[in-house]
């Protein structure tokens, strides 16, 4: 597994801004994100597993920030 390759891809995804959403504004699932970015075809199975973990963390972090922003608006 090439950790540097995964790290570079994660940095590139972060540089794009918010994670992609569906037509209803919901964040895509980790599997959908893997497909959106074409990662299943570009990464080895080990790299895919690591990338799924990274994407899950990114989704969780982005949702947490959105919840914080939302709670500040309600004050």
Summarize pLDDT for 15-65 with one digit per residue, the tens. 999 999 999 999 999 999 999 999 999 999 999 999 999 999 999 999 999
Q: Which residues contact 36 (CB under 8 A, 6 or more apart)?
A: 20, 28
Confidence bin at 75 (pLDDT 50/70/90): low
Q: Which residues does 65 contact at the CB level (< 8 Å), separation at least 6?
A: none
Number of domains in the chain: 1
pTM: 0.88
Which domain does 48 fall in, by range?
3-74
């Amino acid at each position: 597994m090439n950790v540097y390759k995964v790290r570079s891809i994660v940095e590139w995804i972060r540089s794009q801004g918010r994670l992609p959403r569906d037509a209803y504004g919901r964040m895509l699932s980790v599997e959908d994100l893997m497909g959106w970015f074409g990662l299943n075809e570009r990464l080895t199975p080990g790299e895919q597993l690591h990338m799924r973990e990274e994407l899950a963390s990114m989704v969780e972090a982005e949702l947490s920030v959105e919840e914080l922003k939302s709670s500040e608006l309600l004050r």
